[in-house]
Amino acid sequence: MNYTSNPALALLSLEQGQAEFDYTAFLQDQDIDYLAEESSASTSSNHFSGPGTVVQPQLQPQPATNLAVVVQGGNGNGAAAAQKTRLERRGHTKSRRGCFNCKRRRIKCQETRPACGHCTKTGLPCEYPSLPTILSSSQPSHQIPLFSMQDMRFFQHFLVSCYPHHPIGSETIWTHEVPCLSQKYEYLMHAILGYSASELMVSLSDQTLTAPAMAHRLKAIKAIKRTLAASSSQQQIEEGGCESRVGDGKDFSEEGNALMAACFALTYQSVLLDDGMVEYMTFIRGIMIVAMQMYVREKGSAKRILFGDFMGQAQTDRLAPYMAEVPLINKDWVDGAVRGLEGMEGLVRVEERQVERRYWEMLIAMGRELYVSSWGAYLAMTNHYAWWMMLPHDQFQKITEPGNQVAILLATHWIALKQVMAVITETEDKGAAKWPERPPSGNDISVGIIRWLKYLNKMVDVEHLVYNQWPMWVEAQLDRDRGFFGKTH
């Protein structure tokens, strides 16, 4: 079975600071306009796009200074500036029946059939939403919409074959508590169904599932947006330490747990998208924003956080005995990685590239640690995750800037390093509480985030190709044999 590989998320920790994150800064209006019934013609984007490709959607937390103010303890003046900037967006003509790719990329779709011009140009499969179905007026408007037999198939596939494995050891939560929550929270149900549909689409090579997979994904994020907007305006915290309420009176902890689970599912679905790396990073940041908000409201206790027992030091302790047994990986592979990163030093050793330099320093520390300890390299990888997860928005935007070739090169080296470390990262599987059923197949090794590497390598321009030789070599080996670096599933 072409099964989705473990995305190797960071060892999530809630102990990096006590600042009260404004989780409503995640997915603000301009970030998810493309999730509405119409697609936007706006060309603003924080996603990579290569020569001749269409700009991808902006899905980073906004406003730009909200996260920065919280992390750096600013006075909030930047937030006002960001609000002013949001009000100055230029108008555009809307396309109401655009294809899913154009909706994701926040661009105007020509709506030509069977494929629009943008999808034809980029070589992406072009799928259009089905025409809206008029529901009976007798259906209560407050209930989650009825789901189809196909959706029931997706739900069953999630429970049996593709539930997530992060936080490490939380599989039972994914097959018990999370499905129960999904009956109450529309966005969580759509996130589960979208991820499961994408996994089936990939594992069965069934492109007919693209439309329902993307439809559920878009509905999930749109519903998250509504929830965050409602919680921002209706949240009431009574004096005297009473329990806070959000939205329509739901317990904040329950709502927060549902939001975290939905972001996890959307993160896993991002692994199945060729251009999903930045969305993957964005939703991981969303998980942390919600988790830290809950942690603060619970006065430093993780007891009411659904995944609280599996975060931070608990994950490290769970993996340490297994990681201690992992041997060093092939020295030639490490030599290639370190030489490739050292060759980029001149690109990052400039004053205006401080955030890229820090990115590079963390990658080369990861590479050099591979000479010494596989466990140490894994911890260096999680430190890198923690770094960009906690970056102020303006800096996160810079390392995902579409025209930033240095950032693209750093991304290709990061993903290539993760491929070389397959034997190390797959050791996470030993910390799982259980493993899903997998039907027999002729190819049990998933493409996983190899698809990101291929996508990013194509985006490096001619001028910078000399710096990208090692990631291209890694891609070539994986094209020949997906298990070349020890990957087993």
Residue whose C-alpha is closest to residue 192's, from 232, 231, 256, 147: 147
Model confidence at 359, pLDDT cuts 50, 70, 90, reads very high
Task: Identify the three-state secondary structure at position 93.
Answer: coil
Rounded to whole angstroms, how far apart are CA atoms 32 and 26? Answer: 10
486 secondary structure, DSSP code: S
Give the pLDDT confidence score for residue 129 in this predicted structure: 76
Distance CA(154)–CA(190), nearest Å, equals 10
Half-sphere exposure of 335 (CA within 13 A, CB side): 3
Interval 123-139: pLDDT, tens: 788 887 765 443 444 44
Residue 54's pLDDT is: 31
Determine the average pLDDT of the residues in 461-467.
95
Contacts of 392 (CB under 8 A, 6+ apart): 64, 65, 67, 68, 71, 72
Please say if the pLDDT value at position 48 is more than 70.
no
pLDDT of 20 reads 39
Q: How far apart are CA 320 and CA 316, in angstroms?
A: 6
The reported pLDDT for the residue numbered 299 is: 59
* Position 298 confidence tier, pLDDT thresholds 50, 70, 90: low
- Of residues 113 and 336, more confidence is placed in 336
Residue 300, pLDDT above cutoff 90: no
pLDDT higher than 70, residue 197: yes
DSSP 251: E
212-221, 232-241, 277-286, 424-433: the lowest-pLDDT one:
232-241
Residues with Cβ within 8 Å of 429's Cβ and at least 6 positions away in sequence, in order, are 6, 165, 435
pLDDT > 90: what percent of the chain?
30
Query: Is the CB of residue 118 less than 8 Å from the CB of residue 102?
Result: yes
DSSP H/E element including 100: helix 100-105
**pTM: predicted TM-score of the whole model, two decimal places:** 0.72
Contacts of 282 (CB under 8 A, 6+ apart): 59, 60, 61
Report which of 227, 160, 161 is spatially closest to residue 190, judged by C-alpha positions: 227
